[in-house]
Amino acid sequence: MPELGGGLPASVRERARFESFAGVPALVVHPGFASDGALHGERAPVLLWMHGRTANKELDPGRFLRLMRAGIATVSVDLPGHGARHDDALQQPERTLEFVEQMAREIDAVVEAMLATGWFDDTRMAIGGMSAGGMSTLIRLCSAHSFRAACVECTTGSFAWQRNRAMYDAQRATRLDPIQHLDGWRAIPLLVLHNELDAWVAVDGQREFVESLRARGLAKDVEMHEYGETGAPYEHSGFGRFASDAKDRQTNFLVKHLRA
């Protein structure tokens, strides 16, 4: 097992460990972990989290710390071609939907391996991601699943709005586009965060997706919050000066739906 590092603060490292679930590298942050690496206490509710393109599973430890302090575990996984399974070629923008599709296919095996550890409460699981990770999330939620809630950031459930971006692969987009597969969507609480000025993922696509859920009666406890100018690079991710607010919103949302 690799040593914990990667810029993780001590407050996260002492409750974290690296694992591999179904061959997918993962960072597990658990409120019940202690310095001896063992689990002390009960199974925890858990968020399965997926980062965006060119990032890695260790990104944004402030997210993990907030959730851990709220009694919620996080399993943050590396997308195909990223982090511990690095592949420069697969990280290129034009291959985004390729690794998004692969990650969506891997989710069930990851969850099965997670639950086999006995660390997590299988009745209180959430799924989420930012940008590309959010796309994998929304694709997976278009068929039967056992997640109780979901949260996504700076992503889209309507791929048509990305036609002018390098990521757009017409064949895959047609096959995967969440807004075209809502017949399989189950109404669960969903938190959507986005930048109004996002230069990489159009907010209009996510607005259309949320409105489609509402029109079909699938918007159970759906919250969409849009930030104005944040100062984040390309206004795409991280939410700049509103980063703390975004993390607090996510934590409060998951406490409400996983710990109630």
How many domains, in total, are found in the chain?
A: 1
Residue 13, helix vs strand vs coil = helix
Q: How far apart are CA 138 and CA 183, in angstroms?
A: 13
Q: Give residues with Cβ within 8 angstroms of 147, minimum separation 6.
A: 125, 126, 127, 141, 188
Q: Which two tokens stand for residue 15?
A: 């409750």
Q: Where are the alpha helices (DSSP H) in the chain?
A: 10-13, 61-69, 96-116, 132-140, 170-176, 203-215, 243-258
Look at residue 221 and tell me if it is in a domain.
yes
Residue 59 lies in a domain: yes
Model's pTM, two decimal places?
A: 0.95
Compute the distance between CA of residue 138 and CA of residue 131 in angstroms, rounded to an integer: 11
Question: What is the number of H-type helices and E-type strands within the chain?
Answer: 7, 8
| Domain of 21, in residue numbers | 10-258
Is 2 among the domain residues? Answer: no
pLDDT number for residue 245: 98
Provide the pLDDT for residue 161.
Answer: 96
The pLDDT value recorded for residue 220 is 84
Predicted pLDDT at 1: 44
| The pLDDT value given to residue 7 | 74
Tens-binned pLDDT, residue by residue, of the chain (260 aa): 455 655 789 999 989 999 999 999 999 999 999 877 678 888 999 999 999 999 999 999 999 999 999 999 999 999 999 999 999 999 999 999 999 999 999 999 999 999 999 999 999 999 999 999 999 999 999 999 999 999 999 999 999 999 999 999 999 999 999 999 999 999 999 999 999 999 999 999 999 999 999 999 999 899 999 999 999 999 998 999 999 999 999 999 999 999 97
- What is the distance, to the nearest Å, from the Cα of residue 89 to the centroid of all Cα atoms in its chain? 22
Q: Is residue 3 part of a domain?
A: no
pLDDT at 237: 87
Indicate whether 111 belongs to any domain.
yes
Residue 4 is assigned to a structural domain of this protein: no
| Any domain includes 1 | no
For residue 74, give the nearest of 24, 125, 23 by alpha carbon.
Answer: 125
The CA dihedral of 184, 189, 194, 200, to the nearest 10 degrees, is -20
Tell me whether residue 224 is in a domain. yes
What CATH number is attached to the domain comprising 170?
3.40.50.1820
Q: What is the pLDDT of residue 59?
A: 94
Q: Output DSSP code: residue 86.
A: B
